């Protein structure tokens, strides 16, 4: 294990040296040594039903995003790539965190993606960003990764309207800014040593993913109205399913993808065997000449035509509506928690 760490450090050190640009800030160190980037036992654990996990949304307003063009509005499922172009594919990982829980960080996935140089997109809950500030900073400043918005507390946006809906969309943008701020102050370098981490980490998130993959026209309109691109998927790994074995998940993904696909996984501890499945999926897709890119890169690929819909769904229209009942049951449970432990008892500002 010690030898592996040393080898990994040497690889990263020399890769960083080789990648350093002439205009890279001199004399500054990388923000995190390899041992600080590596996953730790217990990171993946989810702690549920704990009153201390209550967090008020950050105050203030986030920086506004540019308005979307009419052709960018809707739920993006995948892209169509011109015949003969590179076989691009985007792996995405949701970091969901509900009220009164601290979700996990499945660092084994991230370790693997870094070791294999696999580009990927993470959709983080705003509260998750605040409960996982170091991994969040590491992800947002990593040259392989980008981070998108996965709502404040993973509410089903079909059940919300008005201020509640706006809060789920806006609060994560502010949380991202807050978590990114210390990178400005630290003036340390991103993992590859080629730029400051604060320059690598975009100032705002520009992508959004709906919890449960569920939306209605009002929620979709609100997300797009905030300048966020709504990113769905065309292939789901099914990794939160308890019975999904790594080989079955890998088979499902390998049979489901095509060039331009967006694939859904979970990186918050709710994917049971995600890292193991990736160890099978990634080499097999590479053997078929697939290249892994971030969602933003997929959308901007030459000639990419977005498959964009007026409705959100998993594999067929209407199939995510079934989460309405589940979300209502969760809401009832959260309301009981709030009545007992929430801000009106503790006096916290909301
Ligand atoms: Zn989620």
For residue 194, give the DSSP letter. Answer: S
Q: Tell me, in angstroms, the distance from the centre of ligand 1 to residue 22's CA.
A: 41
Give the helix ranges, DSSP H, for the chain: 2-19, 34-37, 107-115, 126-131, 133-140, 162-186, 197-200, 217-225, 246-256, 274-287, 295-299, 323-341, 343-346
pTM, to two decimals: 0.90
**Contact by Cβ (8 Å): 235, 253:** yes
Q: Of 59, 152, 153, which is closest to residue 98 (Cα–Cα)? A: 153
pLDDT at 4: 52
Q: Tell me, in angstroms, the distance from the centre of ligand 1 to residue 190's CA.
A: 27
Helix (H) / strand (E) element for 235: namely strand 235-236
Tell me the average pLDDT across 118-141. Answer: 97
Name the pairing type of β-strands 101-102 and 47-48.
Answer: antiparallel
Confidence of residue 331 (pLDDT cuts 50, 70, 90): confident
Does residue 36 have a pLDDT over 60?
A: yes
Q: Tell me, in angstroms, the distance from the centre of ligand 1 to residue 48's CA.
A: 15
Residues 6+ apart with CB under 8 A from 132: 95, 105, 124
Residue 239 CA: distances (Å) to CA of 40, 111, 244: 21, 18, 6
pLDDT at 346: 38
**Ligand 1 ion local residues (Cβ < 5 A):** 94, 96, 211
Look at 175-179, 183-187, 251-255 and tell me which has the smallest mean pLDDT.
183-187
Distance of CA 11 to the CA centre of its chain: 26
């Amino acid at each position: 294990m010690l030898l592996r760490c040393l080898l990994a450090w040497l690889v990263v050190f020399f890769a960083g040296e080789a990648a350093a640009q002439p205009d890279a800030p001199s004399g500054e160190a990388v923000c995190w040594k390899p041992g600080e980037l590596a996953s730790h036992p217990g990171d993946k654990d989810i702690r549920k039903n704990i009153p201390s996990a209550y967090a008020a949304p950050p105050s203030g307003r986030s920086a506004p995003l540019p308005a979307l063009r009419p052709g960018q509005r809707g739920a993006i499922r995948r892209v169509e790539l011109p015949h003969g172009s590179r076989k691009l594919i985007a792996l995405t990982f949701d970091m969901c965190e509900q009220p009164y829980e601290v979700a996990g960080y499945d660092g084994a996935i991230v370790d693997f993606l870094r070791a294999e140089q696999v580009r990927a997109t993470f959709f983080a809950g705003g509260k998750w960003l605040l409960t996982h500030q170091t991994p969040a900073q590491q992800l947002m400043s990593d040259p392989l990764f980008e981070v998108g918005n996965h709502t404040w507390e993973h509410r089903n946006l079909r059940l919300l309207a008005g201020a509640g809906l706006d809060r789920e969309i806006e609060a994560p943008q502010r949380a991202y800014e807050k978590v990114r701020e210390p990178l400005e102050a630290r003036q340390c370098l991103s993992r590859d040593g080629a730029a400051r981490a604060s320059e690598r980490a975009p100032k705002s998130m520009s992508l959004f993913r709906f919890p449960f993959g569920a939306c209605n026209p009002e929620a979709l309109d609100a997300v797009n109205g905030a300048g966020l691109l709504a990113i769905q998927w065309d292939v789901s790994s099914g990794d939160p399913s308890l019975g999904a074995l790594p080989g079955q998940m890998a088979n499902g993904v390998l049979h489901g993808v095509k060039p331009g696909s967006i694939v859904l996984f979970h990186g918050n501890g709710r994917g049971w065997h995600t890292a193991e499945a990736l160890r099978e999926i990634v080499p097999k897709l590479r053997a078929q000449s697939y290249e892994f890119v971030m969602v933003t890169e997929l959308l901007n690929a030459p000639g990419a035509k977005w498959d964009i819909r007026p409705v959100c769904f998993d594999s067929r229209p209407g199939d995510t509506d079934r989460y309405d009942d589940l979300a209502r049951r969760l809401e009832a449970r959260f309301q009981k928690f709030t009545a007992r432990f929430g801000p009106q008892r503790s006096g916290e500002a909301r």
